[in-house]
Chain A
């Protein structure tokens, strides 16, 4: 019984609509697939879906695959529907996150002759991006460009912010965008009816659906926000007068950094401290002046690093930042505290003898660190971390008293140590700049290795010291800037400094 074939390759051939959903565990990808099935079955279609949940539901990425086939075309013979997407043969790809869209493209599920790609542009960072010692985020612009190039039609916008605003999940926004895209042969009403039949969290889902629909139907070209979180044009009026004398020597790049530095140090200590900052920058300005027409890369980096180094995070600074009214307000917003609800805030702090001694006047601090019995006594009181309830009067006042030590900070042990280090670093930069400008810029970068608190801070300093000790050797070998940059990157690879040790060994 050889059934005559219908035209299997012609334009008239009937084919299933194939839909791949890329989502991460717990994102509602399964619900979205169920909605599509329900929508299709009520719209006169046969529907099949599969997935491989397994361990993927524990935060891994999952592909749900759905095929729809018109019942009217099924005749007495049922269609054979596939259980997994075939590259080049997918009509619609729904991605709950931007890298997942990238994954769909790299797996060949999105093809320019065929696929409507509907994706959110927000990012859920991978473990690799999150555990980096510095900044290892991927470039969302690459996802956007690839999405435009790989798809026939693209609907890309930030669905997470819509989901958050409507109190729903990305899956509901995706469902709305699917309806708004017009890629499926069903009316908007039918989509909404599906959500209502589901019966769980209907109202927020419908709100998110509507927002997603409008966004997709309006067809706005997507934009990925620039990574810069601040407006480089913004100027703080209070620092105008301080910056004014050197304002004409600053470029569009260095000006906001210097201004921010002045703001930071005024806030950190006082206006005099900010003036000291500007004074320290003067020789760098002079160097830049001697190279007219060139970028002021060195100035920008020194201005940035110096401000951060001078505003080091000691117990006084931390205490002050923790108890500010603006900070209480920020926590209130982040925790989404509504009317009629109360908020309590508990800080997880662990000052060690080291930090306590560093806050003391230098002589007393050194004595404490040196004197066995005193150190042991303070050690015994600081073995455990402290939970300080800043929203209570007791906890608040504790930190308020620490913050009140600010006027005596310039006499503290840490201040003296930090000032010495800053000046040594700056001297090195200034010494090298006239001979090897790129190397000076690189040295300016290196101080960035020192950050964090406690052990993290100490390890960072060790790395920095290692690099500085290597400087003479690097300069002998030539192209010291490039080599130092390589070593600095190696220092960013792991916490323990193993990668740096290897890189250093390779040089020696």
Chain B
């Protein structure tokens, strides 16, 4: 069950010609795929394209009607490999994943695909997670397009253009027998807008046709000697065909402007940002009418030489807005113009920063520099501010008071007790080398846990730890999530350690979903999913590849047991990898599932017990060691009600879901007696009431006695 339900959005996928689609761009892309007559779609989730996967999962019935097969791929390599179907048959297909991490995983399949080329249109939709808020290393997908010779579309970030580029992308792919990457930046994926829909199309050639009449063309194999031919094909046939299509179909856009001796070239994805910066500076109006001629590259690879030559004619300088590094486009333009001996000056990274996101202020500064150098007359004088307030004064007052808010485990997260336990074990055995992985558990690397040395990629935690195989009484620990385990970890981490007889500990965090990407189901999900085969135990898989020492903890909130199991794994005489599977359901998903059920039960008059935790402020001494071992968002601080104490007390706020971790930690770490669990009983039974009356009578009597003693003392 994914984090978000897309039942409403699925209705929009059915819209017919002329109707207006309203929604996020990434959902519009899904609709565009259906309008383009795809036969199959595959993908691996991850921001910002998780919604595409989720909506297709929710739309399964409708996809079947259209004859479209949707596959939740094991990983990005599997997603890319599915495009193999378009190599021999006129079947349109698409795959999607997060870039560049997904592209890295997929690159083997993509290189093979690019070598032989495709017959049916093949579209690779990559969600670019670049810039502020990104959770991954900052690299460019452009390099992948260049190295494998795939075409790269980078459309203007409005829903209509993005949808158009999906359709054009398939055509481009077919005329040039090359897979096409459609690059969508994170904000563009989540932009809300609208477009006029077309009818969904059913592929004329069906998947059944392919199965019944298999086509074999050995020259499409990525095998010598064909690979040598493919390289020539790429340059001599596919490239010119692509360039011709881009030109003929006006994929790239020209916007005229009065300052004809200069111009701006930009990646399509940069368009809205550049235009807003220009609008603020008085260089354009809000409708996109610019005073400087613009050349917008909706296709950033390959570039069209003729279009550049045309654009640069009569211009003394152009500015290239190309986000990220290296500056592949700028280098290419330089080569292009030098070869033709065109003397237009190319400003790009000379006026814009080489690295980092091109935000509004960065773009403004770059445009300013460019105009000062080449057309200072275009710049209007700055208006003096009409206020006596001062932003610098405000900033000075703020000082260092604004602190970061790095992501951390949610309230009630079952992964928190695992790392609380690990922190406790480290108190006994000393600091551990922990090879981390990708997933929610990566948050353990931050405060308050500070656990983990580095991460090398999805499912690679075990492989990253292996060279430090146990010595001198110490063992390396590796953490792999269930998402990473099925993505790659079973082979690359567990299998790898078994084969190499690694003396280490592998902790597999099993929360029932690919939680970090939005709660998608995986092989070991506890849920019974109609369209997928789930409930395959991780333990069976681990034992299947040869691990002998496996412990399965089915309630991670038992901190003491977690700690003891970790200690045992770190100290046992057993050789080879020691695997601990720590299973408890992702609390975010559990709450989403359970909350409505409980509410309904209360309404029906059933007895329901709801638990939450609390801290007694009069026994809490405000040292916050409980927070340092937990970090739960519901475990916070509050002013100390005691006039004698200064330090804030710990407080459990209403968002507490009663997972019990704080109480268990207090027990396991022997912290303090301030934690209590409050059970609130809805619709109590007669027996409950009866018990309560007796308790009230007895306890009340002694409480009054206590009070009298206090007064008389």
Contacts and interface: CB of A to CB of B under 8 A. Distances in A.
Interface of A: 1-3, 5-6, 8-9, 13-16, 24-26, 37, 47-62, 69, 75, 77-89, 99, 102-103, 105-106, 108, 110-113, 124-135, 137-139, 142-143, 145-147, 149-152, 164, 227, 229-230, 256-257, 260-261, 264, 266-267, 269-271, 304, 307-308, 313, 317-318, 320-325, 327-328, 330-331, 334-337, 340-350, 352, 384-385, 387, 390-393, 396-397, 400, 403, 451-456, 460, 495
A227 to B, nearest CB: 6
A69 B193 CA distance: 13
B639 interface: yes
Interface string B612-634: 10101011011111011001010
B377 interface: no
Interface in B655-713: 663-664, 666-673, 675-684, 688-689, 692, 694-695, 698-700, 702-704, 706-707, 710, 713
A88 B645 CA distance: 44
Interface in B378-414: 380, 385-387, 389-391, 393-395, 397-399, 401-410
Q: Name the residue in A52, A129, A347 with the highest tally of chain B Cβ atoms < 10 Å from its Cβ.
A: A52
B641 interface: yes
A324 B706 contact: yes
A424 to B, nearest CB: 21
B193 A48 contact: yes
A125 B634 CA distance: 10
B256 interface: yes
Nearest to B260: A2
B403 A129 contact: yes
7 A-B pairs closest in CB distance: A86-B360, A385-B667, A112-B389, A150-B394, A82-B276, A149-B394, A52-B133
25 contacts: A6-B289, A53-B47, A58-B409, A87-B361, A105-B394, A126-B403, A150-B391, A150-B394, A230-B641, A271-B713, A318-B619, A321-B618, A322-B676, A323-B699, A325-B703, A325-B704, A335-B678, A340-B682, A347-B676, A387-B677, A392-B695, A452-B621, A453-B670, A454-B672, A455-B670
B391, B404, B683, B710 pick with most chain A CB within 10 angstroms = B391
A77 B287 contact: yes
B405 A24 contact: yes
A391 B695 contact: yes
Nearest to B192: A49
B335 interface: no
B135 interface: yes
B654 interface: yes
Contact of B670 (A8, A261, A454): A454
B641 A229 contact: yes
B405 A102 contact: no
A457 to B, nearest CB: 9
Q: Which of A54, A260, A323 has the most CB of B within 10 A?
A: A54
Contact of B623 (A108, A133, A341): A133
B275 interface: yes
Contact of B273 (A83, A143, A271): A83
Given A131-B447, A137-B648, A348-B676, A80 B397 contact: no
A230 B643 CA distance: 6
B188 interface: yes
Nearest to A400: B702
Contacts of A135: 622, 646-648
B647 A131 contact: no
B671 to A, nearest CB: 7
A443 B56 CA distance: 67
B624 A56 contact: no
Contacts of A455: 669-670
Interface stretch (B61-69, B73-81, B278-286, B473-481): B278-286
A384 B644 contact: no
Interface residues of B, number: 132
A139 B401 contact: yes
B453 interface: no
A138 to B, nearest CB: 4
A15 B275 CA distance: 13
B187 A344 contact: no
Given A5-B289, A345-B678, A393-B695, A50 B190 contact: yes
A164 B653 CA distance: 11
B567 to A, nearest CB: 14
A48 B640 CA distance: 45
B402 A99 contact: yes
A227 B654 CA distance: 22
B623 A86 contact: no
A149 B392 CA distance: 9
Given A86-B277, A256-B643, A342-B681, A55 B673 contact: no
A146 B397 contact: yes
B359 interface: yes
B673 A128 contact: no
Contacts of B640: 229
B637 interface: yes
Given A130-B631, A131-B631, A323-B706, 7 more contacts: A113-B386, A130-B627, A264-B644, A271-B713, A308-B644, A321-B618, A350-B667
Contact of B191 (A49, A257, A318): A49
A58 B407 contact: yes
A82 B704 CA distance: 67
Contact of B619 (A8, A81, A313, A460): A313
Given A78-B287, A134-B647, A83 B191 contact: yes
Contacts of B193: 48
B636 interface: yes
Interface in B523-574: 560
Contacts of B560: 384
B273 A84 contact: yes
Given A58-B410, A111-B391, A52 B633 contact: no
B258 interface: yes
A452 B398 contact: no
Contacts of B289: 3, 5-6, 77
Contacts of B258: 2
Contact of B402 (A51, A60, A102, A495): A102
B489 interface: no
A100 to B, nearest CB: 9
Contact of B257 (A2, A8, A335, A352): A2
A460 B623 CA distance: 10
Interface-centre pick from A87, A304, A391 (highest chain B CB count, 10 A): A391
B263 to A, nearest CB: 14
Contacts of B277: 86
A507 to B, nearest CB: 25
A16 B285 CA distance: 11
Contacts of A385: 666-668, 670
B398 A451 contact: no
Nearest to B705: A400
A54 B133 contact: yes
Given A113-B386, A325-B703, A69 B286 contact: yes
A269 B709 CA distance: 11
Contacts of B675: 347-348
B399 A142 contact: yes
A304 B676 contact: no
A56 B407 contact: yes
A60 B256 contact: no
Interface string B289-300: 101000000000
Contacts of B688: 342
B677 A53 contact: no
A84 B622 contact: no
B239 interface: no
B428 interface: no
B48 interface: yes
B161 to A, nearest CB: 11
Nearest to B636: A125
B286 A16 contact: yes
Nearest to A127: B447
Contact of B397 (A149, A313, A327): A149
B672 A142 contact: no
